[in-house]
Amino acid sequence: MHPDPEVSTEHGRVRGRAEHGVAVFRGIPYAAPPFGPHRFRAPAPPPAWDGVRDATAFGPTAPKPPYPAPLDTLLPDPAVPGDDCLNLNVWTPDPGGAGLPVMVWIHGGSLRHGSSAVPTYDGTAFARDGVVLVSLNYRLGIEGFGWFPDAPANLGLRDQLAALEWVRRNIAAFGGDPDQVTVFGESAGAISLAGLLASPLSAGLMRRAVLQSGAPTAVPLDRADRTTRRIAARLGVPATAAAFAAADRDRLLRAQAEATGGSPLSGGAGFDLVVDGEVLPEDPATALMAGKGADIDLLMGTTTDEYRLWFVPDGTVDRIGPLTQRLALARFRVPRRAAAVYRKERPGATPGEVLGALTTDLLLRVPLGRLADARAARAESAGTYQYEFAWPSPVGGLGACHALEIGFVFDTLRDPATAALAGPDAPQSLADTMHADWIRFATTGAPGWPTWNQDRPVMTYGPETSAVVRAPRDAERRAWER
């Protein structure tokens, strides 16, 4: 392979780099910089360029605050300055090839953190194994998911759609098959992907999807502006896009960090997809349960101990006593019978651990199971597959926590960014298995175990071995359905 591979895109020619036997192109713009006249507006096409554009370094990342301690040591989140943040990266085994399967990664981060430059998301292993891997940036926080009366909603989701449209039009030039696109995402990336599956604007942009630790969700318009108003109050400006666009960017980020917080499980002000009548005509969960996206092969699952990423590092799990647990269960409207079953199934568990397991299942495992059931009930639905990642990290009592599986999927266990969460001795054999299953799904539509049916087969990864488990923790599942 030439050390400086070049490819022509619709906006101009790019020069990448040969690395570890594959060709890598970084920082390719798929939309115009979302600032100046494009700030708080739908993504516009990027300006074309003459000559050959250097694509050897990651492009700018979307404006974002750093993760708060102690998550900042567990979730490395590089920041690259610059306005041209709507960019993507391509790893390909052969830019002169044709017909290769394509996988597009949407990162997580609570819709306010993260980027495609996180080292764990390196696409080399996918390209090594015959896949064209694309990762992308999208607008975050108030810039991407704030709601304003004078601006379009779901701007970050619109960015993702623009990136997928770029893939549709350009990926053949990198050796990929535009009709063989699998989109996968984790946490907020999976929530975004569920929104894309439910959106009429995504028609023809993907063939398969993987939801990792994220379930379909969105808020109605009457709830969408709560976080916007909190930030506006700190800035001392009206809750309009025009007023926010005039604010200093660093000051805006500080106000956002001060006005938001918490986690998907513990609550707190944050950002959501919005049922806006255009990108999302209805709630994604409602749309997908009713059959939207039924023609898309779907792989989805969770980790066993999602909650431990948020409850353990700062000691929250140890501060939760019986009274705090009861108050939290009331706030989440968890049925008493469900709480009783979870306590019985976890002898010796602390109130914090029981609460974490309940909220994990309430927000993730239960809705994904219901979606799988709804799809399986339709004879015309494409394949539906469930997994659970159960290998426990040795780091700080994290167990099989949220985001732990990503390094195994990408086969990047030896990178220090991945080792921060998984430790230095995570089992390579498990990464080999999981990575191969994701590629098999992207290539064939079947990851290697039975599609969802009345037996409820779940591929369970680790800790001793990986095997299909039929109806795992069925008593807990049934507790939600009575």
Separation between Cα atoms, residue 188 and residue 170, nearest integer Å:
26
Q: Which of 402, 405, 435, 466 is catalytic?
A: 402
Q: Which of 143, 165, 186, 306 is catalytic?
A: 306
User: Strand 22-29 relative to strand 100-106: parallel, antiparallel, unpaired?
Assistant: unpaired
Separation between Cα atoms, residue 35 and residue 432, nearest integer Å:
42
Q: Which of 187, 199, 381, 466 is catalytic?
A: 187
> Nearest to residue 438, comparing CAs of 110, 162, 185?
185
Task: Spell out the alpha helix ranges (H) of 62-215.
Answer: 71-74, 124-128, 141-145, 155-170, 188-198
Helix (H, G, I), strand (E, B) or coil at 180: strand
> Nearest to residue 42, comparing CAs of 146, 149, 157, 123?
157
> Nearest to residue 207, comparing CAs of 255, 247, 171?
171
Q: Identify the residue whose tokens are 């998550």.
A: 71
Structure tokens at 4: 């400086």
> Catalytic: 402?
yes
Separation between Cα atoms, residue 343 and residue 340, nearest integer Å:
5
Helix (H, G, I), strand (E, B) or coil at 40: coil
> Catalytic: 306?
yes
Contacts of 419 (CB under 8 A, 6+ apart): 413, 426
Structure tokens at 332: 């989440």
Structure tokens at 325: 């647990």
> Nearest to residue 373, comparing CAs of 457, 479, 304, 473?
457
User: Strand 176-186 relative to strand 208-212: parallel, antiparallel, unpaired?
Assistant: parallel
Q: Measured on CA atoms in the order 404, 430, 120, 123, is the torsion positive or negative?
A: negative
Structure tokens at 382: 């494409």
> Nearest to residue 394, comparing CAs of 435, 414, 424, 416?
424
> Catalytic: 263?
no
User: Strand 132-136 relative to strand 87-92: parallel, antiparallel, unpaired?
Assistant: antiparallel
Separation between Cα atoms, residue 462 and residue 452, nearest integer Å:
20
Q: Could you give phi then psi for residue 442, rounded to 5 degrees?
A: -65, -30
Helix (H, G, I), strand (E, B) or coil at 88: strand
Beta strand spans in 20-151 (E): 22-29, 52-54, 87-92, 100-106, 132-136
CA distances from 255 to 18, 234, 250, 258 (A): 42, 6, 9, 5
Active site residues: 187, 306, 402
